[in-house]
Amino acid sequence: MDSLIPFTTSGSLVDCVDRKMLVILRDGRKLHGVLRSYDQFANLVLEDTVERLYHENTFAENWHGIFVIRGENVVLLGEIDLDKEDDIPLNQVPYTILESYHRSNITSKKYRDDIKAQILYEQKGFCKEGGEGDGY
Amino acid sequence: MLPLSLLNAAQNKPMLVELKNGETFNGHLVNCDNFMNITLREVYQTSAEGDRFWKLRECYIRGSTIKYLRVPDTLLDAVKDEQTRAREAGRSARGSGAGSRGGPQRGGRGRGRGA
């Protein structure tokens, strides 16, 4: 990591290392973990990672350990304020309870987005999205 | 350490690879390269829905199809220990060989500039 210290440009992630981060992936997954390292492609190494599912006023967590994430799959990376982290107005429930809700949320969201994309394409001249089908 | 170096250091360790299409591959890493292309052995492949399974003795995964890899927690510590041990070994080897030659030379150059 010492060799990355010269990366003092505004676009670097060096200030995010060893901090608790929220990573959102293109498939819609939200991961909380400590950023341990990165490279020029923004591939990330996250330690102590927790995947969170949100549904209405509840959330659930699933512990996953160490992640090596390929940079092109990351939508955004945000620093978590450790002081405010525990003040969430949501109830935590076990992961197994939210799993089925999560899956139905995803399918209904995909359905709505497909209809939206079709209307935008036919009526407003927008291009259809590529085959990736982002879920975020 | 860099993500790809962590991957290189994880050879022969078990890991889980999820592809962009949601399929997961559980196996031991044989080798990897700078494009994140990897070869795994003793692989259990699971479909994206989680309903179908295959066992493969070996497989090759192109780096561009990977979404993420999950590695055991012990790996990070093991790799850091290996790195420090390698650094200590390198430093002691260099120190004993080049130390005597380096000293007098450096002193000579400094005196030249001062005059």
**Contact call for A69 and B73, based on CB within 8 A:** no
A22, pLDDT greater than 70:
yes
Answer positive or negative: Cα dihedral of A83, A88, A91, A94: negative
d(CA B5, CA A75): 23
Would the pLDDT of A2 be above 70?
A: no
Q: Note whether B26 and B44 are within 8 A (CB).
A: yes
* Model confidence pLDDT, tens digit, residues A89-132: 888 899 888 988 888 998 899 899 889 889 999 998 888 876 66
pLDDT tens for each residue of B42-73:
999 999 999 999 999 999 999 999 999 999 88
CATH number of A2-93, picked from 3.30.930.10, 2.30.30.100, 1.20.210.10, 2.40.50.140: 2.30.30.100
Which residues from chain A sit within 8 angstroms of residue B69, using beta carbons? 67-68
pLDDT higher for A37 or B113?
A37
Every domain of chain A and the residues it spans: 2-93, 94-131
Q: Is B20 on the interface with A (CB under 8 A)?
A: yes
Reported in sequence order, the residue ranges of chain B that DSSP labels E, i.e. its strands, are: 14-19, 24-32, 38-46, 53-61, 66-71
Give the separation between CA A87 and CA A50, rounded to whole angstroms.
18
Q: Are B4 and A44 inside 8 Å of each other by CB? A: no
CA A92 to chain centre: 19
CATH topology of domain B3-82: SH3 type barrels. (2.30.30)
Residues of chain B with pLDDT under 50: 107-108, 110, 112, 114
